[in-house]
Structure 1
Amino acid sequence: MLPITDFLSCTEPIDEFESLSSEQQHHAKTYTTGLVAASNKTVAGIAREILPAQGKRAVNKFLTEYDWDEDQVNHERLEELQKHGETRWSQDGYVILDDSVTDKTGKELPGVGKFYDHAEGETVWGQNLVYAFYADDKTAYPLAFRLYDDDDDQSKYDLARDIIDELEDEVGVPADTYLMDSWFTHDSNLTEYIESYGKDWVGPLRSNRQVTYGGEEIRVDALEERIDKTEREIDDETYKIWTQKRSISELDEVRLLIAEKVTEKEDEENPVRYFASNKIDAPSEHLIRSYSFRWPVEVFFEDSKQDLGFGDCEVRDEGGASRHWHLQMLAYSLLRLGPESNASGTQCSKASSIQVQLEYALKEVVYNLFSWVRDHPKQALDELMEEIEHLFLHSDGSDGSKGWYL
């Protein structure tokens, strides 16, 4: 990777964060630039590759020792997003509750343990974070998170309720509807908690959930075998659909929707999906369209793990790890505000990915390096390369290790 001679322009909003001192703003711009553009997104890698960084020790102290409130930084991040029409949230948007597991090798990291990773389809050693994410038809970004620790008393349902309290009581997210996967829909107390704030919810059911039908309690997948579904066209896709108001175990009376996507490809599996919602009178088309807004959170997890250092933090201090994830959310959001941001992508496609913004950031890194070279016109190219190498090798404050990190 090329040495990064200046902060990315997308980090400029950090200069307005009142919760950070000017020195802390410098470190925050260092870290977020590193998460976006550095090839090595650890503390050492960021300090080495970002030339304005003030050394590894300074970056590490910012992450683990300096006095700043990451929750306040997170609220300022969300406030910044509301200043721009393309990222401003609305009542018609959605809050998605989901969790993600990131693989780890260390045994002393906060919250580390054995967790089932749905993306991998197996149990892995890692960290598990519960997230709230916002999405609508023009933008998508993370809202808040909690680290799940199997040794603590709080369940993932408890953490989700904590997040809901923050979003509703402190942040004031106006979105009317929460979307969840089957894990969160399984907890009736969580759905009731959402309703206590006057909000709606939509979530899938596991196939073994019990439904009252014909005077008896049967599994929802057994019900699917007894009913006749009707074909409907929704957004150029064909579905076989059945829906009624029904009593579901743990959920009382809800809108039950059974849907199967129709495809002409013989080798493409389209399993029947079971959905529930407290939107009793909502049309099936609305429920299917609503649930499609869960897709951006999956793209966020993929982009964050592949390109923004989601799992690169090896800080053993829980506060430092929390700050890493908060800064990672900040980096993601700053990219959303970048000049190449495309907010018109549909909620069901990879248009919600940040790949375009990442490509722009790489171009900016190269441009900044060329500008740095241009500002030294009296030096021969070989001399400039030696100076770049010297700056790059010693930007972490070390006193003699050598190597070329391109």
Structure 2
Amino acid sequence: MSHTAIVPDHDTLRNYLLQHRLPLYYSKPVVAHIETYMAAATAKGFRGKVVDLAEYSDRHRTTLGHFLAEGKWDETVLQNKVKAESLRQVVEIPHHAAEPLFVIHDDTIAKKTKPSSQAKSPIEQTGFHHSHLEGKVVWGHQVQATVVQSGGISLIHAIDPYDKTKTHPDGTVYTKIDRVCDMAATLPPPPHRGYVLVDSWFTCSRVMESYAAAGYHLIGGLQTNRIIYPQGIRISVQDFALHIRKEDVRLVTVNGSAYWTYRYEGALNDMENAVILLCWPEQAFGEQKALRAFLCTDVSLTTETICTYYSKRWPIEIFFRQSKNNLGFDTYQVRSATAFIRKNCEKVFWLDSLLIHSKMRNSGS
């Protein structure tokens, strides 16, 4: 997803906006501001700050800041455009090439400095969140992202801030699991086969059932304290792994890396039948800290195929890394939740335009 080699020129950006008929929904100044943001974000050294946008516009930075925080325009138009176009581009591949359609979910944290209790205008919707990367609780915005992928093409489908204060009509908290389940209901049936790829946080019966109803299998990480029932015996994955010998496993190579794998097929809590793979790096067989477990609801897949499919989660990690390194995701200074959401909308719209443009150029279109 690197933007260093596929940055389109301003005419291409303008044509892309016209192609999606944005002038039907937005005034000329709004379209011009959106183009400014997309052009600025392609520049080296972009930090996500309003002053960076001003370098690519004849408008004062206060005008650009007002556009993000208080401007009268509907960012859901961009969100819906991104969702429709990402699916259109990706779904046409499995239609023609019988490729699986992958839907990838994950979340990340934009770490910020916790404001003083005396702060008059702290950043909205920030809070304490557990960072898996740092292994501790940090302060900042947490966002959930969805990537759709097929045939080597990966596009951002959605990115939404997680608001802990959001509730259902009955007053219960709207969780990250709820958002993933709601997303499943909006996706089209896969033309051939479909798989949702998630980490262990989202590997649960609710997500499996929601995606099964939409026609997708799940391949996800699995906590090693989950209970399985080999030969009808109730035991955790990590305890079962202690009884696995070298002659029980086989070496599987995925993307150039080799792993010892053990395949279990059977029941676990909340499921009657699934495949669970216990994996160790080639040089770390039997080491408890090196053990990783994965679940797949499609028992027809081979062990090699499950490992290969799960490795296709990597584009969403690249998206998070490049958003922080190149798109100012960790260095933005907007304070309102509206401005934060709008910056994300424009960022995703920009990224997909780059990727689609690159795809068309490489195919000679």
Q: TM-score, normalised by structure 1?
A: 0.72
Question: Per the alignment, in what secondary structure is the counterpart of residue 218 of structure 2?
Answer: strand
Give the CA deviation at 1:106: 5.5
Deviation track 1:221-267 (CA, whole Å, cap 9, x = no partner) reads: 1112223212345555433222132212233421111222314x99x
Identity of aligned residues (%): 23
Q: Counterpart in 1 of 2:77?
A: 72
Deviates more, 1:229-238 or 1:142-151: 229-238
1: distance between equivalents of 2:146 and 2:180? 8
Q: Which residue of 2 aligns with 1:14?
A: 17
Q: Which of 275, 282, 294 is matched with 2:313 structurally?
A: 294
| The one of 63, 67, 72 aligned to 1:58 | 63
Q: Secondary structure of the residue that 1:195 maps to in structure 2? A: helix
Map of 2:126 onto structure 1: 112
1:142 positional shift: 1.4
Deviation at residue 23 of structure 1 after TM alignment: 2.2
Residue 208 of structure 1 is matched in structure 2 by 225
Q: Aligned to 1:109, what secondary structure does the other structure show?
A: coil
What is the alpha-carbon distance in structure 2 between the residues aligned to residue 54 and residue 269 of structure 1? 58
Aligned residue for 2:51, secondary structure, equals: helix
Backbone CA RMSD of aligned residues: 3.2
1:106/1:7 CA distance change after superposition, 3 Å: farther
Give me the whole-angstrom Cα distance separating, in 2, the residues matched to 1:343 and 1:77. 21
Cα offset, 1:35, TM superposition: 2.1
Report which stretch shifted further, 278-287 or 239-248: 239-248
Query: 1:318 Cα deviation (Å)?
Result: 2.1
Within a 5 Å distance, the mapping from 1:116-265 to structure 2 comes to: 116-152=130-166, 153-168=173-188, 176-185=194-203, 187-227=204-244, 228-233=248-253, 236-263=256-283
Deviation at 1:168, TM superposition (A): 4.2
Secondary structure in structure 1 of the residue aligned to 2:215: coil
Query: Where does residue 366 of structure 1 map in the other structure?
Result: none
Q: Take 1:88 and 1:314, find their aligned partners in 2: how far apart are those partners?
A: 39
Contact kept in structure 2, 1:211 and 1:219, CA below 8 Å = yes
Does the 8 Å CA contact 2:148/2:156 hold for their aligned counterparts? Answer: yes
Question: Which 10-residue stretch deviates more, 243-252 or 201-210?
Answer: 243-252
Equivalent residue runs for 1:22-101 within 5 Å:
22-37=28-43, 39-50=45-56, 52-80=57-85, 90=94, 92-101=100-109
2 CA distance for matches of 1:84 and 1:230? 38
Whole-Å separation in 2 of the counterparts to 1:155 and 1:275: 23
Quote how far apart the aligned CAs of 1:340 are. 9.4
- 1:239–1:73 CA distance, 2 compared to 1 (3 A): same
Confirm or deny: 8 A CA contact 1:144 1:163 kept in the other structure. Answer: no
Aligned mates of 2:58, 2:134 — CA distance in 1: 36
Structure 1: unaligned runs, 5 residues or longer: 1-5, 345-406
- Which residue identity lines up with residue 160 of structure 2 in the other structure? R
Deviation track 1:67-112 (CA, whole Å, cap 9, x = no partner) reads: 3332321332355557768x96535131111001111126432321
- The 1:189–1:88 alpha-carbon spacing in structure 2 relative to 1, beyond 3 Å, is same
Flag structure 2 segments of 5+ consecutive residues without an equivalent: 1-7, 116-121, 167-172
Aligned residue for 1:214, secondary structure, equals helix
Distance in 2, matches of 1:176 and 1:188, equals 17
**Separation of aligned partners in 2, 1:84 and 1:48:** 33
**TM-score calculated relative to the size of structure 2:** 0.80
> Which whole-Å CA distance do the structure 1 matches of 2:308 and 2:236 have between them?
25
